Structure 1
Amino acid sequence: MDDLLESLWSVERPVSELRPGDHAWLCYETPEEQSFVTGPFVDEGLARGHRVICLAERAGGPVPGLGWPPAGGAVPRVVALADLPGPVGPAVVLEALAKEITLAEEQGCPVVRVTADMTWALRAPGGLEELLACERRMEGEVGPSTMVMAVCQFDRRRCGAEELSRLFTTHSVRVVPDPVFDDPVLRIARTFRPRGLALAGELDASRHTRLDEALCRVMEAGHGDVHLNMSGLRFIDLGALNLLAERAAERPAAVSSLVLDRIPAQLFSVVERVGWHMLPGLRLGHPS
């Protein structure tokens, strides 16, 4: 269901390319995935002098996907659930956020960034319907705006399939993490379901270091299998394959194996013929 929903988006943007008028959807599965969007969204806004408004449980407490305090001197304005008049629901939160946006406009802020994890609202009686109404209102107000952009976050582990399918229709944009590396030849992007990297373009000797850096970061940050989605690769040299074999053999103890997924047919035959997939810690996953 989740993959089907994500395939229906007409607009998908990396977080650094969000713009005023974007009412964006982030459906995450782990805190790491959440932080790869929320962190850059907030940090870039603060660095550029934007007004950044975040929703948190309490003032001075952790901001979902961000932690506290953020890096650097500037901090976002926090709307604290604990300080809002109860009972607190989506409508109360929306009014509080609207007041902060109006204040920013009155103070001449050039751009306003809003981010809120609204998963909690689904657990209250009638929470889904109230949240849908608020999201539609937010879409109607943010969409035409020339200064406001918003990222609405939902934890897919705590949402039902029907809830997700209804909520996603109230957002105009799906936001994804920025690529780890991107140039005219090669693109390396983080993936989270499954955890790993997606490669696209051509991987030659001049970009081995970029792949190695990205792969080592992923391997050091978690446990279980690390997957490489290779469906977008048009070319990979033997040196890169040797590099993958070396990293698989030297993998941290918490990493089960390095899995090569969706290998293009021409590369698959090379891997099988040479026998790379039989090396320690390296195995073939989903076919192309």
Structure 2
Amino acid sequence: MTALRRWYSPTGLRPGDHACWTYADAAAFCTTVVPFLDEGRRRGERLLLVGGSPATVSETVSSLPGRAELLASGQLEVRAAQEVYGSGREWDPVAQVRHFRAEVEAALDRGHHGLRVAADVSVLARAGSESLRQLHVFEGLADELADNAPLTGMCLYEASLGDDVLGPLTVLHPIQHQGDREPLGHLSGRGPRLALHGDLDLSLAGHVFPALVDLAGGAGGEVTLDLGDLDFLDVAGARMLTEAVRRLAEDGVDLRLVGPRRAVARCLELFDLLDGQVSA
């Protein structure tokens, strides 16, 4: 699992990293994507860029060193977001991650050292509440894929989406760049086993809540939320966890909070949330 950190520059990533980057406009998108892809070129990775229209995406990489040769050899592939995701109103996050896994395997078969993907996912975040819920699931699955395959992933989102949309999406990435916001926490895992890392306080609770409910909600039955890597929890965070437990119970999901450190456990005890062994 990649450690939680802020991402100051769109370089310095390696296989296993799953990062989120928000951008203000087309120029900022270009200045982010090109060095990220160029780093992959120098590492011998296969490169995939997803975003915008075909013409716009092609223009984005016009300054990438060796662009023509990379395209001709197939080391670089450029796709429009609609080609990959459709309209965003009906799409399957499990199938999408399966597709990216196949792309990783194809890259290795062709002799590359892995797959490096820069994907603008804004179209899915704009496609309505159901698409956004599926996007939370997708980011959780993509995080797991990056942790188990030679994949370096950068998910790009337009800053104009706003904090209510970007906050939950950001916490689903261990490597984060959302303007000047310092990364506090990361929600990882899928299905029956999830984990919280970092700090969970008033500023983050409202962002973690929808991501947690959406990731746990599709599992059914019992879901474990491991708090062993949670360094800090305040009353607002504990109240959010209480509400998540209640909301999920209405949907037939039993969310169990396990493994907290002693300081976190003391806060959980105030809300009768402690369920499992306390870590040292």
Whole-angstrom CA distance in 2 between matches of 1:83 and 1:30:
21
One-letter amino acid of the counterpart of residue 171, structure 1: H
Spell out, residue by residue over 1:247-272, the C-alpha distance to the aligned partner (whole angstroms, 9 max, x if none).
xxxxxxxxxxxxxxxxxxxxxxxxxx
Alignment match, 1:121: 124
Whole-angstrom CA distance in 2 between matches of 1:79 and 1:90:
18
- For residue 84 of structure 1, report the CA deviation from its aligned partner: 5.0
Is 1:131 aligned to 2:135, yes or no? Answer: yes
Alignment match, 1:166: 168
> Contact (CA 8 Å) 2:50, 2:78: kept in 1 or not?
yes
> Contact (CA 8 Å) 1:64, 1:117: kept in 2 or not?
no
If the length of structure 2 is used for normalisation, what is the TM-score?
Answer: 0.51
Determine what percentage of the aligned residue pairs are the same residue. 23
One-letter amino acid of the counterpart of residue 11, structure 1: R
Spell out, residue by residue over 1:124-155, the C-alpha distance to the aligned partner (whole angstroms, 9 max, x if none).
2312101100000000110243x211000000
> Contact (CA 8 Å) 2:81, 2:123: kept in 1 or not?
no
> Contact (CA 8 Å) 2:81, 2:121: kept in 1 or not?
no
Secondary structure in 2 matching 1:62? helix
- Report the CA distance shift for 1:110/1:120 in structure 2 as closer, same or farther (over 3 A): same
> Which of 9, 31, 34 is the equivalent residue of 2:29?
34
- Report the CA distance shift for 1:85/1:144 in structure 2 as closer, same or farther (over 3 A): closer
Whole-angstrom CA distance in 1 between matches of 2:99 and 2:80:
9
Spell out, residue by residue over 1:17-63, the C-alpha distance to the aligned partner (whole angstroms, 9 max, x if none).
1111110010111223322221101122224321011114555x332
Whole-angstrom CA distance in 1 between matches of 2:5 and 2:85:
36
Structure 1 residues 238-277: aligned runs within 5 Å: none
If the length of structure 1 is used for normalisation, what is the TM-score?
Answer: 0.50
Secondary structure in 1 matching 2:60? coil
Whole-angstrom CA distance in 2 between matches of 1:97 and 1:65:
24
Alignment match, 2:155: 152
Whole-angstrom CA distance in 1 between matches of 2:171 and 2:58:
23
Whole-angstrom CA distance in 1 between matches of 2:86 and 2:120:
18
- Could you tell me which runs of 5 or more consecutive residues in structure 2 were left unpaired when the two chains were aligned: 181-280
Alignment match, 1:74: 70
> Contact (CA 8 Å) 2:11, 2:35: kept in 1 or not?
yes
One-letter amino acid of the counterpart of residue 170, structure 1: L
Alignment match, 2:5: 11
Is 1:48 aligned to 2:43, yes or no? Answer: yes
- For residue 87 of structure 1, report the CA deviation from its aligned partner: 5.7
- Could you tell me which runs of 5 or more consecutive residues in structure 1 were left unpaired when the two chains were aligned: 1-8, 177-191, 194-288
Q: Which is higher, the Rg of structure 1 or of structure 2? A: 1
Whole-angstrom CA distance in 2 between matches of 1:165 and 1:86:
24
Secondary structure in 2 matching 1:114? strand
Structure with higher helix content: 2
One-letter amino acid of the counterpart of residue 135, structure 1: E
> Contact (CA 8 Å) 2:43, 2:113: kept in 1 or not?
no
Whole-angstrom CA distance in 2 between matches of 1:63 and 1:138:
22
